[in-house]
A and B are shown apart, each in its own frame.
Chain A
Amino acid sequence: MPSSTLASATTEAPAPPAARASGFWADTLHRVVRNRAAVTGGIVVAIFVVVAALAPILSPYDPLKGGLSNRLRAPSTTHWLGTDELGRDVLSRVLYGARITAQIQVAAVGLALVLGTALGLAAGYVRGSVDQTIMRLMDILMAFPGIFLALAIIAALGTGLSNVIIATGIFLVPQFARVVRASILTLREMEFVQAARALGRGDVAIVFRYLLPNSLAPIIVQTSLRMATVLLTASGLSFLGLGVQPPSPEWGAMLSNARSYMITAPHVALMPGLAIAVVVLGFNLLGDGLRDSLDPRLRE
């Protein structure tokens, strides 16, 4: 980024042939590692994953147990981040919150990834009326701006962890469908695909051996960026009281409770919000960095 373009032009120019000789994956990895945003984001995400996995070991206290005699304590040596309105340890709750967050992210993005990729593939490959129908359906979903679609789904299904996953997952389906469709539409006209077809390759082989593998870069980028979107949307729902319900230490739900004590105990609200911001920033950095290093054509 800040390194001068002149210097990078002279030092990097001979690099690609040498890197390519070491293989596609090594070359790709090389480009990702050289991207500062991707590395920074990757480190943040890695820490988040470790915290989510090891929350029971890392947490000094039970995230759900407290004591009213111990309520709204300021940060101290016994409670590093203080205690909340029920005397529960804020640090333990934030650490366990990573777990719930990761669970929502993986399930919701997974749902959107599978559904969106399938729909995008069908639309881009079959085209015609199938494409028209699928894309109009996506237009309808996208007519509800931002969190409204998730709210509508919650209104119909009710609150709770699994409904948050469904709501935020469906909310993201159009994003994946559009990216995959666009990629397929470009790829299917390319010579290597035309050649495969001329050689008598069937539709299944063309889709799974040629089109999907070559669409991986935009899909991976979307996956990282949408992990960030899911976290913002899901914690927003919980903050509104329409997502994951207390006493669960979900970060949005924690903030929602902490609101009432903002003036007397602002430390309770500080950490869950900071946790959301840092993890979202991590996924955004990773996604941006991956976009720049994996697929320079997609650069904004």
Chain B
Amino acid sequence: MIAYVTRRLLLLVPVLLGVSIGSFALLHLVPGDPAQILAGQEATEEVLTRIRHEHGLDRPLPIQYAVYLGNAVQGNLGISIQSRQPVATLIAQRFPFTLRLAFLAILVSAALGVVAGVVAATRRNSMLDLAALLGSLVGISLPIFWLGLLMMLVFSVRLQWFPAGGSGTAAHLVLPALVLGAASSGVIARMTRASMLEVLRQDYVRTARAKGLREQIVIYRHALKNAMIPILTVFGLEFGYNLGGAVLTETVFSLPGIGRLIVEGIFARDYPVVQGAMLVVATTFVAVNLLTDIAYALFDPRIRYD
């Protein structure tokens, strides 16, 4: 187990280095002079020279990257061109909101998805099963931004149950979390169904039934507990995709998350913000995946890693 975790941590190093090279390269892939981009169109030649020197843009690229990486590791992600605030501060203001939204969405999808999956698996080939399968496929297929607009129209504008956008109270998060959770719940329902069907075929489930246990106990205490192990991995992945989906959800509901920060950064050509936010999101996603895999190994000692 320790060897497995160590190996996974070591594998993380090239990936994170690659991610940092990618976000570093962003500014240099954009057509045009990086100094001009940082300084703005109307900057004079003296200003450009000063900017080049300040940001080390007059040094060789490998050195620039080393400095960028060294700063990033210490939490210094540069200064926003637009707001003149440190990028790390902006991210610290916005990221917790997105994390909370993604987490709430996972709760929604866990509740909807696991229930639908169990119902479908225990009543295999029934109308309920077909409805759950079709429903989850529809959930996966709906564009998040459209679902968001529709929910807003129905629940905010017509019924006025929830605020149409903005943030501040718990009520502001209900619709976004439902919208974001809808797609994941489809994925989780399908995974739960498949995993439950697999487990229900096992001998220990037959044994549990044979010794006269109530069906409820067989399903929830014997089958579901074991079926949850592979579903766990999906939760980790879906949490990451929810970070991605949050970009769209935040736009629909005008929420102050990191997705909005990136989109506004791209519009304003505020590259330090885009670079920093991308780096933080990718690192988070990679870390969440690692934690899920370790949890998977902990919960399922049958699996050996070598």
Contact = CB atoms under 8 A, between A and B. Distances in A.
Interface of A: 1-5, 136-137, 139-140, 143-148, 151-152, 154-158, 228, 232, 235-236, 239-242, 252, 255, 259, 262-263, 266, 269, 272-274, 276-277, 280-281, 284-285, 288, 299-300
Contact of B149 (A145, A235, A262): A262
Please classify the interface of chain A as helix (H, G, I), strand (E, B), loop, or mixed, using the class held by over half of its residues: helix
Given A2-B127, A262-B152, A148 B15 contact: no
B274 interface: yes
B111 interface: no
A146 B245 contact: yes
B266 A144 contact: no
B240 interface: yes
Contacts of A145: 240-241, 243-244, 281-282, 285
Given A156-B29, A273-B146, A277-B143, 13 more contacts: A136-B15, A143-B282, A144-B278, A144-B282, A146-B241, A147-B244, A147-B245, A148-B281, A151-B278, A157-B29, A236-B247, A241-B263, A273-B143
A175 to B, nearest CB: 13
Contacts of B144: 236
Nearest to A146: B244
B141 A228 contact: yes
10 contacts: A143-B16, A144-B19, A156-B29, A232-B143, A236-B143, A242-B266, A259-B149, A277-B138, A281-B138, A300-B190
A1 B191 CA distance: 17
A102 to B, nearest CB: 17
Closest 7 CB pairs of A and B: A146-B244, A273-B146, A140-B18, A145-B240, A281-B141, A156-B29, A280-B141
B247 A277 contact: no
A152 B278 contact: yes
A269 B19 contact: no
B142 interface: yes
Contacts, number: 153
Given A155-B266, A255-B145, A280-B141, A144 B285 contact: yes
B26 interface: yes
Interface in B180-229: 190-191, 194
A285 B144 CA distance: 19
B146 A151 contact: no
B1 interface: no
A281 B18 CA distance: 35
Contacts of B244: 145-148
Contacts of A285: 137
Contacts of B30: 155-156
A257 to B, nearest CB: 12
Interface of B: 11, 14-16, 18-19, 22-23, 25-26, 29-31, 125-127, 129-130, 133, 137-138, 140-146, 149-150, 152-153, 157, 190-191, 194, 240-241, 243-245, 247-248, 251-252, 262-263, 265-267, 271, 274, 278, 281-283, 285-286
A2 B125 contact: yes
A236 B241 CA distance: 14
Contacts of A5: 125
Contacts of B265: 155
B118 to A, nearest CB: 16
Nearest to A147: B244
B142 to A, nearest CB: 5
A300 B285 CA distance: 24
B248 A277 contact: no
Most buried by A among B11, B130, B143, B262: B143
B247 A148 contact: yes
B149 A255 contact: yes
A139 B29 contact: no
A145 B238 CA distance: 9
A139 B15 contact: yes
Nearest to B102: A145
Nearest to B152: A262
Contact of A240 (B240, B248, B282): B248
B185 to A, nearest CB: 15
A283 to B, nearest CB: 8
Contacts of A155: 26, 30, 262, 265-266, 271, 274
A137 B266 contact: no
